[in-house]
Amino acid sequence: MAERVIMAEPYPLAFQPNATALLIIDMQRDFLQSGGFGEMLGNDVSLLRSAVAPCQKVLETARAMGLLVIHTREGHRPDLSDAPPTKLSRGRLAVGIGDKGPMGRVLVRGEQGHEIIPELSPFPGEPIIDKSGKGSFYETDLDLMLRNHGIKTLIVCGVTTEVCVHSTVRQANDRGYECVVLSDCVGSYLPEFQRAGLAMITAQGGILGWVSDSSAAISALRSASSVEEN
């Protein structure tokens, strides 16, 4: 099947649509809406909103092109048995992981805050990876799922750039996946970390991967005929 190219930094990335997945990381109420974990940590959650509309456009295109779409969520079992005590105590928060907040128990599976925001709700059949850590490969079956689908390239969106997106890209890169992070589809509570986080990926000849944006990704995907036809 013919390779396609996405314009990216540090250089254009060749990919095969049927070996490419869209990975949307942790676009949950807990990080994007007020009253969730992100706000408990002292952040201005409105800074992440800019990523929502570009993510929606990329998601819509990926679905139309028949790409594998995988969503992740960070969160814990209600009994918190999968949460390291060090994570639970980190930050000395007044209301922290497992405590009752305005959107239910903070960062706990099944609670309102844990849900993916409605704008990016998974379609039935799209896999959701529930993870207890920041990296999406840690103690999950993501790698198995990607290998079973023959995936080699990941288009990465989500939040936050320097935490769960970075952890995931680093883990993916070490496993041999080529990651392209879409700059307008990822968000950070700290603008300087957004800049630095993206620069760290493309530095040194793309030491961790590539950075592109939603419009370049959409053009590249649209230039490919549908995945089923290839």
Supply the angle between the helices 191-206 and 166-174 in degrees, to the nearest 10: 20
How far is the CA of 126 from the CAs of 52, 71, 73, 227, in angstroms? 18, 7, 13, 16
Decide: is 115 part of the binding site for ligand TIU (CB under 6 A): no
Q: Could you say whether residue 31 binds ligand TIU (CB under 6 A)?
A: yes
Q: How far apart (Å, rounded) are the C-alpha atoms in residues 223 and 219? A: 6
Q: Report in angstroms how near the CB of residue 218 gets to ligand TIU at its nearest.
A: 24
Residue 159 touches ligand TIU, criterion: CB under 6 A: yes
* Binding residues for ligand TIU restricted to 170-189, rule: CB under 6 A: 189
What radius of gyration, in Å, describes the C-alpha atoms of the chain?
17
Please state the closest distance from residue 222 (CB atom) to ligand TIU, in A.
29
Report the alpha-carbon distance of residue 100 to residue 121 in Å, rounded.
24
Cα atoms found within 13 Å of the Cα of residue 136, Cβ hemisphere only:
31
Please, what is the minimum distance in Å from the beta carbon of residue 14 to ligand TIU?
29
Residue labelled with tokens 């080699």: 152
Q: Does 129 bind ligand TIU (CB under 6 A)?
A: no
Smallest separation (angstroms) from ligand TIU to the CB of 22: 17
Q: 188-207: which residues touch ligand TIU (CB under 6 A)?
A: 189
Pairing between β-strand 20-25 and β-strand 104-105 as defined by DSSP bridges = unpaired
Give the one residue of 18, 132, 153, 160 binding ligand TIU; rule: CB under 6 A.
Answer: 160
Strand (E) or helix (H) holding 154: strand 153-159
- Is 55 a binding residue for ligand TIU by CB under 6 A? The answer is no
Residues annotated as catalytic (active site), given as ranges: 26, 131, 164
CA distances from 42 to 65, 87, 105, 108, 203 (A): 39, 16, 17, 19, 30
**Interface segment toward ligand TIU; rule CB under 6 A; list 47-55, 81-89, 94-102, 156-164:** 156-164
Residue 213 is a binding residue for ligand TIU (CB under 6 A): no
The answer to whether residue 163 forms part of the interface with ligand TIU (CB under 6 A) is yes
Q: Where along the sequence are the contacts to ligand TIU (CB under 6 A)?
A: 26, 31, 41, 74, 134, 159-160, 163-164, 189
